[in-house]
Amino acid sequence: MGDLNEFTLPVQLFLRAYRWRRIDPVPWTQLRKPLRECRVVIVSSAGFVLAEQAPFDSSVKGGDSSFREIPSEVEINTLIDTHRSDAFDHTGLRQDPNLAFPMDRMRELVLSGRIGSVNRRHISFMGSITAPGRFMRESIPAMAELLKNDSVDVALLVPV
């Protein structure tokens, strides 16, 4: 884990003052079938969008609570980083979006037989949502409904 001294002073002050939420117990659902038979979806807080999609709105106080659907057939290098946070270096994400949206790795797992299939669509939303109420009330249920309708078995959560 990094050290707070790695961040700029404003980010250090924010991180020290932020009221972190704890979830206890952590929600967990046991798989009902082997992973090699499961349909898997990527859910990433990288704030990636496709060129034809609107970027996440960095001016929304507390964070943009919307999400974008990313199709499975996406060419990974076409994803655009619109994450608002300055708390990390975006260079790696821009060089290889697989770091935060591992679509190429998912395809490899399907080919190797480790997972059954990747879902036809995946979810990208903005990390650094400091006021998550609207996100929890509106976006998460909408995302869950999409994934339920797609018969997704496993969600790979990729926090950024």
Backbone phi and psi for residue 79, each to the nearest 5 degrees, phi listed first: -70, 140
Whole-number pLDDT of residue 80? 92
The parts of the chain modelled with pLDDT lower than 50 are 1
Whole-number pLDDT of residue 1? 47
Whole-number pLDDT of residue 130? 85
pTM: 0.87
Whole-number pLDDT of residue 46? 92
Domain layout of the chain by residue ranges: 27-158
User: For strand 121-125 and strand 67-71, is the pairing parallel, antiparallel, or unpaired?
Assistant: antiparallel
Segments in the chain forming alpha helices (H): 9-17, 91-95, 103-111, 133-134, 140-149
CA distance 155 to 143: 11
